[in-house]
Amino acid sequence: MKTLNCRGKLVDLDVPKVMGIINITHDSFYDGGKSFSTNQLLRQAEKMLSAGATFLDVGGYSSRPGADDISVEEETDRILRAIEAILKEFPDSKISVDTFRSAVAEAAIHQGASIINDISGGSLDPNMFDTAAKLNVPYILMHMRGTPKTMATLSEYENVTVAVLKDLSEKIAKARAAGMNDIIVDPGFGFAKNAAQSFELLQNLELLKNLDTPLLVGVSRKSMIYKTLNTTPQEALNGTTALHMIALSKGAHILRVHDVREAVECVKLTEKLRASSEH
C-alpha cells in the first residue's frame, strides 16, 4: 500500500489520484494567463476540486520548451498569492508547489502547500534535497536534462528508459540520504525527450515500479499527443484521455492534468476493470 503524508493527512494511492494543474504564468503552452486574476484562479480551483482533484499543482514559472526565466521574487510572489487565495476559500486543499527553486518551495510550504513538485529532480538547485527533507513533505522527483530553455537540445539517449531509470534511482538514493521520506517519481514526458522517446517511456512504464516509489504521469495535452495527431494542445483532450488509460493500466498512481473530470473518469473505469478481474 502506497500512502503520502500531506501535513498529517494520509493520502492512499492504492486508488490512483488526480492532480489539477494551475499555472499562474502568462506563457504556459496550453493555459497561459488563464488563472492570473484571483477570481479566475478560484474558479479554476473550485472546478478542479469539485470534479474530484485530490491535489492542486500551483506553478508560477513556465517550463514549456524555451520558456523565459523569471526572478525568484516574482515566482515566489505569484505562488504565495495563489496559495493564500486557494486555502482561504478551500482550506482542506492539498496544494503542490511546482518549482525547482528551494527558496520558493520553502516559502510555499510555510504558506500552506503540502507537496514539492520539482521538474529538475534537484539538479537546478543544490539546496533542494536538504530543504525538502527539512520541511518533511512529499517530494515529486522528475527526470529532466538541462533547463526549460535548453532541454529540447538534450534528447540524445542510447536507451531512454535505461537512462531515466538510472538517473531516477541515483537521485532517489541521494534524496533518501538527505533524509526524505515520501518520494514520488515522474519520468518527465517531453522534458529533454522527443515524441518517440516519450512513447517508448510510456510503453516501458511498468519498469519504473522497480524504483519502489509512487509514480506520477504528466502527459496532459503535451506535444507527444498533439504532434502525433497533427492537432493543437487545445484539441488534445481525447488523445490525453487515451494515454491516461494506458498510464493507469501500467501502474500510474497520480495523473497530473489540465482536465480533472475526464481524468477522474479514467480512474473510475480503470478501478472498475480491476475489480472485475479480482472476482
Q: Give catalytic residues, as residue numbers.
A: 222, 256
SS3 for the chain, per residue?
CCEEEECCEEEECCCCEEEEEEECCCCCCCCCCCCCCHHHHHHHHHHHHHCCCCEEEEECCCCCCCCCCCCHHHHHHHHHHHHHHHHHHCCCCEEEEECCCHHHHHHHHHHCCCEEEECCCCCCCCCHHHHHHHHCCCEEEECCCCCCCCHHHCCCCCCHHHHHHHHHHHHHHHHHHHCCCCEEEECCCCCCCCHHHHHHHHHCHHHHHHHCCCEEECCCCCHHHHCCCCCCHHHCHHHHHHHHHHHHHCCCCEEEECCHHHHHHHHHHHHHHHHHHHC
Measured CA to CA in angstroms, residue 269 lies from 13, 60, 88 at distances of: 16, 33, 33
Q: State the residue for C-alpha cell 473505469.
A: 269
